[in-house]
Every structure is written in structure tokens, then in C-alpha cells.
Amino acid sequence: MAVKDIVLYPNAHLKEICKKITNIDEKTVSVAHNLLDTMRFYSHSVGIAAPQIDQLFRIIAIDVSKAKKGQKSNHGELIMINPEILDWSSIIKTREGCMSIPDYVGIVNRARMVNVKYLDLDGNEKIVEAEGFEAVVLQHEIDHLDGILFIDRIISKNVDLFERKKH
């Protein structure tokens, strides 16, 4: 499909609640493939949500398998339509960044394990249990679908928000 430009904060679309997909049509498939192409293009990316490419639909793509933190426990490349966290357990502090907020990282609380229900591109309902880094990425991307950014989850902007180191 195509690599899309990343929508940057403070673009108002990043704060909108995305529409639930009621019919997996050509548009849905196109958005999903654009998410994958864009995530692959930005080799440091482990996840992306539709609003980050200016599409206000409940679709995310993740793949933590190439990241050091995600190599031991992952489900590979996933496209998730209408993802919903069914269950979670245990809270961990984690350092997060976001392609839509490229200059900052922050410390947030996330669940160590999540069960997520979603539809695949064929419309099949699936449930995935993720833990550790993959669970954090899923929560981060699902938050995007509800207009929530990692900076909204930082407890103290004075203590837990940092400028990203330039390489």
C-alpha cells in the first residue's frame, strides 16, 4: 500500500475517539496495510495506531519481535481491528516514547499482562494474551484509539517526562 506521514502532537486528531469498525471493507484493509507499511518504514517502531496516520478508525498494528525487549515474548506482526482489553494484571513502571511525540519519552504505569480481544482482517474474533513489553505496546496503541497519549498518563510532568536523546 503506502507509507504515510505521522500525525504529530498537538494535532487535534490525536485526541479524538476513533470509530468502531462495523464492516471490514476495502477501506479498512487499506488503512491496515498502510499502518503496516508505515510501521515497517520506521524501523524503530513497534506499534502504530490509525489516528497516527490521520485515520480515525479503531485499527492498530504491532510487532515487537525485532525489539530487544520484545524478542523473548511476542506474537509477531499483528493487525488488530476494534481491540479491547478484557483483563489485565499487575502494574509496572515503563519508559515510553511515541512517533507522534518524537522529542520526548516518559515514565508511565502499565499492566504487566493483558488479554486483548480483536478482529483480524478476515473478521475472525481472536484473543491474545500478552505480557511485558508487548503488553505495554498494546496498551499504548489502544490508548491512541481513545485519544489518550502517553503524556496523559505521566504522573508528574516535572519528574517523569524527559527530552529524547538525539543519536
Question: What mean pLDDT comes out for the span 54-68?
Answer: 96
- Catalytic hit among 96, 129, 134, 141: 141
Amino acid 1: pLDDT: 76
Q: What angle do CA 125, 99, 8 make, to 5 degrees?
A: 105
Amino acid 9: pLDDT: 97
Which residues 6+ apart lie within 8 Å of 94 measured at CB? 107, 108, 109, 110, 136
Question: Is pLDDT at 167 greater than 70 in this prediction?
Answer: no
Which regions of 22-124 does DSSP assign to beta strands (E)?
47-49, 59-62, 78-98, 101-119
SS3 label, residue 99 = coil
Comparing C-alpha atoms, which of 135, 140, 120 is closest to residue 32?
A: 120
DSSP state of 88: E
The proportion of the chain whose per-residue pLDDT surpasses 90, expressed as a percent, equals 89
The CATH-assigned architecture of domain 12-163 is: Alpha-Beta Complex (3.90)
| pLDDT range class, residue 120, cuts 50, 70, 90 | very high
Cα separation of 50 and 100, whole Å?
A: 12
Question: What mean pLDDT comes out for the span 25-54?
Answer: 97
| pLDDT range class, residue 160, cuts 50, 70, 90 | very high
Domain ranges (residues) in the chain? 12-163
Average pLDDT of the chain, as a whole number: 96
77 close to 63: Cβ distance less than 8 angstroms: yes
Question: What mean pLDDT comes out for the span 11-25?
Answer: 98
Amino acid 55: pLDDT: 98
Which residues 6+ apart lie within 8 Å of 118 measured at CB? 80, 81, 82, 83, 84, 125, 126, 127, 128
Question: Is 16 considered catalytic here?
Answer: no
| pLDDT range class, residue 139, cuts 50, 70, 90 | very high
> How many other C-beta atoms are found inside a 10 Å radius of the C-beta of residue 4?
18
